[in-house]
Amino acid sequence: MGQEASTDKLESNDILRMMKKFGKLDADKSGALSAEEFMSINELKSNPLVERVIDVFDIDGNGEVDFNEFITGMHSFASRGETNQKLKFAFNIYDIDKDGYITNADPAKLQVLGKRRGRPKKAGKALSRS
């Protein structure tokens, strides 16, 4: 009986499920999800913070979410039991300027983001090293 102890790593059928989901979302089969494709996720459709979610998923900041980023993001989004990770994810959503703090300015920016659909194209994220 080789039942593997569940770790916090993704299991292969999780990955398979994600691949299916990713394939469905990637309407133009480009191998990455554009903001538009990303917004077709049911759970996110009605979420005013969807653009922030994309931002957090989009680790390399190229404006699209590739499969690796998708897996990583979904994992923290849906991770079971890992409250810390969930909190961190939620925190990242609100920490718009990524300084590690949720400042007074951030909620104001959020409102602007919420109202505006389709943000202007990012001209390459500023490289901030910490």
Angle (CA) 84-48-110 rounded to 5° is 80
Q: Give the residue with the Cβ less far from Ca ion, 66 or 110.
A: 66
Q: Give the residue with the Cβ less far from Ca ion, 67 or 94.
A: 67
Q: Which residues bind Ca ion (CB under 5 A)?
A: 26, 28, 30, 58, 60, 62
Q: Give the residue with the Cβ less far from Ca ion, 19 or 105.
A: 19
Distance CA 61, CA 125 (A): 6
CB of 60 to Ca ion, least distance (A): 4
CB of 26 to Ca ion, least distance (A): 4
User: Which token pair is 58?
Assistant: 């989009």
Q: Where are the alpha helices (DSSP H) in 58-123?
A: 67-78, 83-94, 105-115
